Amino acid sequence: MAGLITDWMTLAAKQLDDDVSPAWLKAKKEQALEQLSVLKTPDRKLEYWRYTDTKRLDLSGYEPSLPSELALHDRAEDCEVVTIRLHDAGFEVSENCPISLLVKSIKDINESEWIDLDFTQETVINLVNTANFCAGVTIKYNHTETSKPIKLIVDYDFSKENEWRYVRNQFQVSQNSKISIQEQWSSGQTNVVNVFDLEAGAEIQRLQQANLRTHQRLISFNQFQLAGNTAVRGVNQHLGGALQHHIHRINFNGSQASFKMGTVNKSINNNNIADLVEVNHHKKNNQSEVTHRSIADDSSQIFTNAKAYVAVGADDSQIEQDLKNILLSPGAKIFSKPELEVYADEVVAAHGSTIGALDEQSLFYLQSRGIGIKQAREIMIESFEQEALTC
């Protein structure tokens, strides 16, 4: 474990030697490498990693595994489905990609388009991405009135499952454009950084569907830059895997914007899932609503944290954090933490967190109608999940 930071730095240094990226981009990577040199590998002393087995970042004991048996919901929609497949050799875009959707390699990004991200010791694993990323895309979407709604599917499909793949994507949604973005992980051990940059009036519907195989790992950092009058509706489905560590950072940079996100964390087989949301209300009149529903069974662990920061003067902010958790076995653990840090006077904020078992009265109600206990439990869990999926 102690060698992980060295491994990451060695990899980054080697890539920099071979890197043909523009000088400004190489400089960004060198800067990240320099910052890495004074940081340490994540451990349980860090808030963001306190409830995660950090040994799982080490892939040296990797064993191939079968896909999880549990299926997550899919939603059919009437829209143009465009697929981007990220793989070892680069990426492919489906032929039906319209001209309103411009896709290029992250390596071809212009300096003016690049968005710097703040990383610290807590987010060192995401800083590693900046130093090491060699795959990913930049996407610009400019919706026109005549174009059909677009659902963009980003599929991560890396064949080498015994090494980390570092991916950085940047999504820019132009003024008043609306797009649906779905991410899914077919294979591979992925460390991904996504930046969603919404111009005024833009809207995103986003689905992060991480249904991982038993030994698959996923680290994701997702930053949303929200201009005025923007809207994000997000659903995250996190299921299975040896390790899932997700951070969503939302920056309200204008007013009259809203961010609503529902997350289902389902950990049933010694999985470790950490799901952290940081909402920064920098400006007035914005609304954030974060709903988490987590279910842990066997000896799995889930850490779920919703944090909202309201800056001085960001009055009329509305914040809601709703974290509910169900433990299905005595060996499972859930750590659930809503947090509010408010420096403005006129704010409406509500937060709540509960942890419990399935409601016995409800189970009995289902049984009393003839439904067996196993199916009754499944129905209750599905009902519980729906609260986040329909938020």
Partner 1 sequence: MLKVDNVFASAGNKEILKGLSLEVKPGEVHAIMGPNGAGKSTLGNLLAGMPHVESQSGVIDYLGKDLLGLEPEERAAEGVFLAFQYPVEIPGVNNMYFLRTALNAQRKYRGEEPMDSAQFLRMVKQKIKDMNMRDDLLKRPVNVGFSGGEKKRNEVFQMGVLEPKLAILDETDSGLDIDALKVVADGVNQLRSPDRSFIIITHYQRLLDYIQPDFVHVLADGKIVKSGPKELALELEEQGYGWLNN
Smallest separation (angstroms) from partner 1 to the CB of 369: 4
- Residue 27: which residues within 8 A CB-CB, separation 6 or more? none
Residue among 94 and 375 whose Cβ is closer to partner 1:
375
Residue among 59 and 363 whose Cβ is closer to partner 1:
363
Smallest separation (angstroms) from partner 1 to the CB of 366: 8
- The number of residues making up the chain comes to 391
- Tokens matching residue 95: 């032929």
Residue among 93 and 358 whose Cβ is closer to partner 1:
358
Smallest separation (angstroms) from partner 1 to the CB of 100: 35
Smallest separation (angstroms) from partner 1 to the CB of 273: 21
Residue among 203 and 320 whose Cβ is closer to partner 1:
320
Residue among 37 and 383 whose Cβ is closer to partner 1:
383
- What is the residue whose two structure tokens read 């923007």? 230
Smallest separation (angstroms) from partner 1 to the CB of 370: 4
Give the integer Cα–Cα distance in Å for 115 and 141: 17
Residue among 198 and 366 whose Cβ is closer to partner 1:
366
Smallest separation (angstroms) from partner 1 to the CB of 116: 41
Q: Give Cα separations from 165 to 56, 157, 192, 225, 245 (angstroms).
A: 15, 10, 8, 25, 15
Give the integer Cα–Cα distance in Å for 223 and 229: 17
**In contact, 244 and 272? CB cutoff 8 Å:** yes
The residues facing 141 across adjacent strands are: 101, 173
How do strand 90-93 and strand 80-87 relate by DSSP bridges? Answer: antiparallel
Chain residues binding partner 1 by CB under 8 A are 359-362, 364-373, 375-376, 379-380, 382-387, 389-390
Burial class (CB in 10 A: 0-12, 13-18, 19+), 21: middle
